[in-house]
Each structure stands twice: as C-alpha cells, then as structure tokens.
Amino acid sequence: MNILISNDDGINAEGIKILAEEISKIANTYVVAPDSPRSASGHAITLHKPILINDEFIAENVESYSTSGTPADCVKVGIESILRDIEIDLVLSGINNGPNLGTDVIYSGTVAAAIEGLIEGKPSIALSCDSSRVTTEEYREAAQYTAKLVKKLEGNLDKLSGNILNVNFPKGDKKGVRITKLGKRIYNNVMDDRESIRGQRYVWMGGDLASVEQDKDSDIFAVENGYISITPVHINMTETNRINELKALGIEQ
C-alpha cells in the first residue's frame, strides 16, 4: 500500500513527523508538505508563480519533500509530478495542531489537502487534534489510531469514493469513536482597524467561538464529550431541493 501524507502545519510540524513514523510501519509512506505553516489557507492553489520543491528528511524509510505551495498544491504536485510513477492508494492529511470541526472545514488547509486527494481520485482522510498545544503523546496516540483505521479500511477504500473522512481527536482520555455529521461553528468576530505610521489602513481579524447548542450526532458534540469523531464529507455543494423551486420562478429561458 502506498500512502501520501500532507498537512497545513508545514514539513517540520511534529504531527506530520509522528504520523509518517507510524504509517511507515504498515505501508510505503511518502510525504509532500508545505515548507512553512499554511493554516486556514482553504483550497487555494498556486497558478501564477512556480512551486519550488525540496528534498527533506522526516523519518527513516519515508520519502519526503517540501514545496512552496499550499496544502492542496502539495497533494496535486505530489500525485501528478513528484510521485507520478507511484500509484498512491490513500492520502492522509495531518495530524493538525488544532481541531477542524463543523463549518471550519471550509477554511481548513488540512481538510483541503484531503479534498484535493479526492479530486485526484484517491481515498483521503483528514486528521486533527482538539488542542492548540498538542503533546507528543497525543500525536502518538492519534497516529497509532490512524494506523489501525487505515488497516480496517484497507480492503474497503471504496467506502471513501465521493467523500473524505474528517477525523478529530478529543483531549484527554478517549471514550470511543462516533460516526458524526458536521456541527455548527459560529464566531464573535473582531475587526481591529488600525493605521500605520505611513497612513496605510490595516486590520487585525480575530474572534472567539460563540456558544451554540450542538446536535448530539455532530462532530463538535462528540469531541467535546471525549469521543473521536469521524465525519464523511463530500464536495457536491448543489442544493438539489432548490432546483425545482428556481425553475418554478421562470428564471430559465
């Protein structure tokens, strides 16, 4: 089995190194990741400048590269250029330093790398830990669980056809695993408008999570209650229920 690993925390992130070490015990492992952090980069790709590629060392028996591109770039370039002579069977993205839950998946570079794997026709899984300061032990535990999940899915990767799996690991002791749906993330945004000494207007954007009641089958509820959440996520954004309603308005010519 040939597995490509990427992330949005960068090639030197502890999460990707530990994941590569664990996955290399069960599969041929390749890493293509950004040369520096690209968090919250979404699904951006690089079209108007070259993407630089460098050889890297992640772990023994792991062929590794960094690029100057985004997480989505890394998967695209990895499959179509760097590893073009290797049939990649599965794409893993992570392990991210911080959760990717609910509607935050839209902004996530970690999830975008997995979705790029899906676009490339590869089964893909995004992996994140629900903490801003993940310990080595937490990364190791998450990586070991991921290796077990990969072994369980090995003969059933067709179950990932048309979707990715978005996996989030809770803090502390794990009560079990839940198959979930995306929850709701709402922020109280803060726009701090400022002006430089040269008169240039600029803004710092930030904010805190608002308190939102979550459905009990959501990923956020599961993680907050100590369960690993696994959410199937697809990219067909068509709202089919609206098609006939819009046709009824006479919009079509």
- Residue 186 has a pLDDT of 87
Question: 81 CB contacts (<8 Å, ≥6 apart)?
Answer: none
User: Has residue 129 been placed in a domain?
Assistant: yes
Give me the domain span that covers residue 91.
2-181+214-243
Q: Where are the alpha helices (DSSP H) in the chain?
A: 14-23, 71-77, 109-119, 136-153, 219-224, 240-248
The total domain count for the chain is 1
CA distance 194 to 191: 9
Residue 209 resides in a domain? no
Token pair of 243, please? 């098609």
Question: Distance of CA 114 to CAs 14, 93, 137, Å?
Answer: 19, 6, 24
CA distances in angstroms from 38 to 72, 154, 186, 228, listed in the order given: 10, 30, 22, 25
Q: What's the CATH number where 95 sits?
A: 3.40.1210.10
Q: How far is Cα 21 from Cα 13, in angstroms, rounded to an integer?
A: 13
Let me know if residue 162 belongs to a domain.
yes
Q: Looking at residue 212, what is its pLDDT?
A: 87
Average pLDDT by consecutive 10-residue portion of the chain (253 residues)?
98 98 98 95 96 97 98 98 98 97 96 98 97 93 98 93 96 96 91 95 89 93 97 94 92 85
CA atoms within 13 A on the CB side of 28: 7
Q: Residues with Cβ < 8 Å from 19, sequence gap 6 or more?
A: 5, 92, 94, 95, 127, 139, 142, 143, 146
